[in-house]
Amino acid sequence: MSAPSSLLVRADESIASLAPGYFALVMASGIVSVGLGMTGFGAAARALLVLALVAAAVLVVLFALRALRHRARMRADARSPERAFGFFTIVAAASVLAVGLQAEGAGGAALALLMLGAAIWAVLGYVMPWQVLMTRDGGRILERTDGSWFVWSVASQSLAVGLSGVRPPDGDAAHLLGALTVMAWSVGTILYAGIAVLVILRVVHFGITPEQFQPTYWVSMGALAIAVVAGTAIYEMPPVPMVEAARGLIGGTVVIFWCFALWQIPLLVGAGVWRHLVHRVPLRYEPALWSMVFPLGMFAVASMRLGRSEHLPLAEAVGEVGLVVAVLAWAAVAGGLVLVLARALAASRR
């Protein structure tokens, strides 16, 4: 087999096995970009935003090719409890990119992304759970519940964050926008509670092995962090009726959510030590690692937003330290991806 044909075969195999949650790469890059922008590193923030946009464009092409060439594999993923909820990273990625574009003054492009994300969220939000729960690929559903399910909650909260940054031209549109934003935050919050119960039941009844403790469990913390970001953004929205009705409740919960997210971090770090150091599970690049970088970046942004909104210097300082950790984590995972791609290219040439 010639080198070009070998490369095409390997590329097609990679497309066939493409993880549904790979848009977490865009989510992670986008939120770290937002954090850098909040701390005055404008040039780095714009560079990372451009990189996130390029990554999103590449992934759109790859997912389109997978849908055309490997439809059966995608259908199987949509019915797999371990992989199906990864598709919600598409919604969250669109919303995070929209937030980055809003910060750069590209409101029109941001609105287009939010509308696309909302449409995909509406479809996936009703179709995907049905596929997983009613037409799944066999096996006990509770035993297969994992951290990736929290992405469903993240997708809803990400829409709330993006919608809160839209400034409509008239009062009627502002009323509708306020209602949609509060609804997205509320749905995401209730989904988090329900998913958390299922995940806890899974661990209690079936346990969890070191191999099963994937980086996606970090999304349990990231989902709370993004609820804080969305909540503080709603609290600062213009006083339309729906926002006014929910302002008190949201303002009282964001601090609780932030505290619980902070409490989870040592727990998740300890679980990582248990997985990789105690039980020697190899730490190598995998797409799920982006699902760890995103929560780190989101917690940093949430801490800074909360600190500035509620005048809590300690929370803001925690966010600044957290941003350094998120940047380092992003660089490490990005380096792993580059190394994997370089090795694959070298192997195909041989």
CATH number, position 17: 1.50.10.150
| Whether pLDDT at 272 is above 60 | yes
| Whether pLDDT at 276 is above 80 | yes
Question: What pLDDT score was predicted for residue 349?
Answer: 66
Average pLDDT over residues 281-309: 95
Largest CA distance in the chain: 67
Q: Whole-angstrom Cα distance, residue 193 to residue 242?
A: 22
Q: What DSSP line would sit under 156-186, residue for residue? A: HHHHHHHHHT---SSHHHHHHHHHHHHHHHH
- Which pLDDT band holds residue 248 (cuts at 50, 70, 90)? confident
Please return the burial class of 293, using the count of CB atoms within 10 Å of its CB with bins 0-12, 13-18 and 19+: buried
Among 85-94, 165-174, 213-222, the least confident range: 165-174
> Could you give the dihedral angle defined by the CA atoms of residues 23, 29, 35 and 37, in that order, rounded to the nearest 10 degrees?
-120
Q: Are 73 and 121 in contact (CB under 8 A)?
A: no
Q: Which amino acid appears at position 67 of this protein?
A: A
Looking at every residue in the chain, the average pLDDT score rounds to 92
Ramachandran class of 107: left when φ > 0, alpha when ψ lies in -120 to 50, beta otherwise: alpha
Distance from CA of residue 62 to its chain's centroid?
19
Q: Are 319 and 301 in contact (CB under 8 A)?
A: yes
Q: Are 148 and 128 in contact (CB under 8 A)?
A: no
Average pLDDT over residues 195-199: 95
3-state secondary structure of 61: helix
Domain that holds residue 156: 3-349
Average pLDDT over residues 266-293: 95
Question: What pLDDT score was predicted for residue 143?
Answer: 87
Question: What pLDDT score was predicted for residue 11?
Answer: 78
- Which pLDDT band holds residue 138 (cuts at 50, 70, 90)? low
Helix (H) or strand (E) holding 187, with range, is helix 171-206
Average pLDDT over residues 104-124: 94
Q: Which two tokens stand for residue 32?
A: 């770290």
> Could you give the dihedral angle defined by the CA atoms of residues 18, 22, 25 and 27, in that order, rounded to the nearest 10 degrees?
160
Total-model pTM: 0.93
Where is pLDDT greater, at 205 or 3? 205
| Whether pLDDT at 4 is above 70 | no
Q: Whole-angstrom Cα distance, residue 164 to residue 180?
A: 9
Average pLDDT over residues 277-285: 94
Domains held by the chain: number:
1
Question: What pLDDT score was predicted for residue 249?
Answer: 87
Q: Whole-angstrom Cα distance, residue 24 to residue 5?
A: 30
Question: What pLDDT score was predicted for residue 129?
Answer: 82
- Which pLDDT band holds residue 148 (cuts at 50, 70, 90)? very high
Q: Whole-angstrom Cα distance, residue 8 to residue 3?
A: 9
